[in-house]
Amino acid sequence: MDHPKNNNNRSHTPIGSLREYVPAGISHKDEGDSAIQAIEPWQRVQIARHPERPHALDYIARLCEDFVEMHGDRIFGDDAAIVGGLARFDGQTVMILGEQKGRNTKENILRNFGMPQPEGYRKAERLMHHAARFGFPIITFIDTPGASPGVQSEERGIGQAIAQNILVMLEIAVPFIVTVIGEGGSGGALAIGVGDRILMLENSTYSVASPEAAAAILWRDASQASSAAAAMHITAPDLLEYGVIDEIIREPDGGAHSDPTVTLDAVREAIARHLADLQTTFAVDTPEGARRLLEARREKFRRMGRFVE
């Protein structure tokens, strides 16, 4: 076993213990609250990675009642970098899945810095099938620098695990809402990100590769990460313009961590609204409605891309 065995969710430091930490270069002044703040992509990366930023378990605790965490992929192990389970959201039973980071070194070792291994994705796959069997909507929270690179990851087929999840998300006919709450890093993010609606917090990022990885691939120099962050257009406004996401959820001035309650409630409102909209638009409790929902999801991704002809 190359990952921590103690992976119940008790060791999760609550928000507030690191409130004073502010990354360099972020000004809280001179920012209007009527429009999306105009700040450098690299600064957004810093905010998205802020240790005090609300993480998946913070959202689950604030947004849901009666959360029961479910563990393990039934094949190899349990991965603390992905948490999931049944809960009640907005009066109905849902399946919640999220990539979980830690707030300090000890937690980050337990959570592998939010970088899931194959067993994490296979747990997610199991829980998605579980949700589909009972007709429960799925709500996911993306927050990962990427899937875990390493010998064991490759031995157990990290690529295949991600590929399988992408396929499953295009085969199950229950409402599926994705929210990018921090870092959306590459295939490791997409592996729980193929939903009917994709929401993004204002200062979160979503990219084809982490800025460091992209810099290493493009220029063989990971220290050029800030240039890569700018070149790849990874911010929420970029992705909304590209039609890849459906809505940007505003953060308080100073970032999500500066007023977590406001952030969490804004996310709750957005998810509840989109979920209700999907359920009425598609009448998902009928087989035909569920089928139309799935077809619309496939069509949504089928249309993505820019080319000429």
Partner 1 sequence: MKDIFRRPRYFSIGQDKEHEKEEHKDTRNATAPQDRADRDASDAIWTKCPKCGELLYNRQLENNLKVCQKCGHHFRLSSQERIAFLVDGGKVDDGVVDTGTFEEQGKAVMPVDAIGFESLGQKYASKLVDTQRKTDLNDALIYGTATIEDVPVTLAVVDFRFFGGSMGSVFGEKLARAAELAIERGTGIVTVSASGGARMQEGIFSLMQMAKSTAVMAQLSEAHLPHISVLVDPCTGGVTASYATSADIVMAEPGALIGFAGPRVIEQTIKQKLPADFQTSEFLLKHGMLDMVTPRRELRTTIARLLRLYRGDQSPAAVTQKETSASSVQ
CA 81, 85, 87, 90: dihedral to nearest 10 degrees? 60
Pick from 94, 132, 194, 290 the residue near partner 1 by CB under 8 A. Answer: 194
**x/- track of binding to partner 1 for residues 32-71 (CB under 8 A):** ----------------------------------------
- The CA distance from 205 to 184, in Å, is 6
Residue 233 in contact with partner 1, rule: CB under 8 A: yes
- The CA distance from 215 to 237, in Å, is 22
Burial class (CB in 10 A: 0-12, 13-18, 19+), 20: exposed
Pick from 18, 61, 216, 272 the residue near partner 1 by CB under 8 A. Answer: 216
Residues numbered 144 to 183 that lie near partner 1 (CB under 8 A) are 147, 149-151, 153-160, 162-164, 166-167, 169-171
Cα separation of the two ends of the chain:
50
Say which residue the tokens 């690529």 belong to: 159
* DSSP class of 148: P
Which residues have CB under 8 Å from 306's CB, separation 6+?
242
CB of 228 to partner 1, least distance (A): 8
- The CA distance from 256 to 238, in Å, is 19
Which of these, 66, 76, 73, 193, lies nearest to 130 by C-alpha position? 73
Residues numbered 234 to 273 that lie near partner 1 (CB under 8 A) are 234, 238-239, 242, 244
Residue 109 in contact with partner 1, rule: CB under 8 A: no
Pick from 27, 74, 219, 286 the residue near partner 1 by CB under 8 A. Answer: 219
CB of 239 to partner 1, least distance (A): 6
CB under 8 A: which stretch of 20-28, 93-101, 228-236, 273-281 binds partner 1?
228-236
CB of 21 to partner 1, least distance (A): 26
- The CA distance from 70 to 259, in Å, is 29
The smaller minimum CB distance to partner 1, of residues 150 and 252, is found at 150
Where on the chain is the footprint of partner 1 (CB under 8 A)? Answer: 147, 149-151, 153-160, 162-164, 166-167, 169-171, 186-187, 190-191, 194, 206-209, 213-214, 216-219, 231-234, 238-239, 242, 244, 297-299, 301-302, 304-309
